[in-house]
Amino acid sequence: MTKHTIRKISAILCGVLLCAGTAQAGIYMRQKDLVAEQKKQMTCREEDYRVSLGNNGTEKEICRALINDATKVAVVFQGTGGPEKVKIRIYQSGEQSDEIVKVETLPLGDAAAVSIDRDAFDEFYITAEVTEGMGGNATFRVSWT
């Protein structure tokens, strides 16, 4: 083989190795982004709940979930097919007792948030009751982090 042929082969092999290294780095970055997204999803949950609320004064549970590593819970009164204002109650629940941690009346579009005690309680739950307007369907977005 001549020097010229050896240089061509070397250049081709270097190019192949460079492309392989770049592809591997891209795979690593995608995996790193995927892991970060999975961690975010594990630490921040967000779900929409559509419930049918009765007339004024009837408290109804919206959702119930395990606290796990959560320290904050938020609820947004998003949409409605009836009520104009609702009273939200956020509870912490454990083996021995339930405890109300937040009571707030929300007009459509407003939110309530509260810190929760993950050491003393196992789960939280949220209830709503109509305070203004007529009963009907209501949508709530609940998130906990």
Q: What is the pLDDT along the chain (145 residues), one digit of tens a residue?
A: 677 777 777 777 666 665 566 656 565 557 667 666 655 555 578 899 999 998 767 899 999 999 888 889 999 998 877 788 999 999 999 888 899 999 999 998 899 999 998 888 999 999 999 998 888 889 999 999 8
26 and 76 in a single domain? The answer is no
Nearest to 41 by CA among 116, 118, 144, 121: 144
Rounded CA separation 76/138 (Å):
11
75 and 122 in a single domain? The answer is yes
Whether the CA torsion 54, 140, 100, 102 is positive or negative: it is negative
34 and 51 in a single domain? The answer is no
62 and 116 in a single domain? The answer is yes
Instruction: With 0.75 as the threshold, say if the pTM is over it.
Output: no
69 and 7 in a single domain? The answer is no
Give the range of the structural domain holding residue 4, as residue numbers without chain letter: 1-43
82 and 139 in a single domain? The answer is yes
